[in-house]
Amino acid sequence: MTPMLRSLLPLALLAALGAGCSQTTVTVLTQGPPGRAAYVDAEARTLTLSRGVAVALECTSWSEAYSGPCRELAPTLDDESLATLLPVHVDALPRQLAGNGGHRHEERAVRGTADRAGFVLVAAAAGEGELTVLSQDGPPLTLALVVEEPPAPPTDE
């Protein structure tokens, strides 16, 4: 997600809450290797991965009554031959302590495990299917899952 899109997320959240809507979102926490796909297109509601790529995903829900990580997170695939779903412990590492002449500064507060809900998806076979994410806090979210063949390795000439 670009910095500009990240800055618009809180505005989208406020607009949804103001309109009385509820929403569930899934965002990518890890990148694919160079030359491989691992991204969510929120507008098209599509998750695209290259075969062999594992990606960590985070789920967030919001409504008039709740805003935060998806509770009772339950992702499912309509075609389990395309990928494997794994539960994941999503934690935040504290920022590295800045050094200044041998003196350490205090750690800053960082979101921790109670602030995140997620899962890992490992793309196993090329094809198309659906990933549905259920949570007690928002409506189900269904993403088209597209698993692409990875690019061919370069040839030695």
Which domains, and CATH codes, for the chain? 21-96+107-148 (2.60.40.1080)
The per-residue pLDDT for 133 is: 93
Give the whole-angstrom CA distance, residue 116 versus residue 10.
16
Grade residue 50 by pLDDT with cuts at 50, 70 and 90: very high
Whether the predicted pLDDT of 129 surpasses 80: yes
Query: Is the pLDDT reported for residue 84 higher than 70?
Result: yes
Q: What does the mean pLDDT of the chain come to? A: 76
Q: For residue 29, how many other CB atoms are within 10 A of its CB?
A: 13
Residue with tokens 């160079």: 34
**Alpha helices (runs of H) in 1-153, residue ranges in sequence order:** 3-18
Burial class (CB in 10 A: 0-12, 13-18, 19+), 123: buried
| Interior angle at CA 113, CA 25 and CA 87, nearest 5 | 65
Could you tell me where the DSSP H helices lie in the chain? Answer: 3-18
Q: What's the whole-number mean pLDDT along residues 117-141?
A: 92
| Residues 148-156, mean pLDDT to the nearest whole number | 82
What share of the chain has pLDDT > 70, as a percent? 70
What is the structure's pLDDT at 154? 73
State how far the Cα of 49 lies from the Cα of 83, in Å rounded to an integer.
10
Phi, psi of 25 (to 5 degrees): -125, 150
End-to-end CA distance of the chain: 37
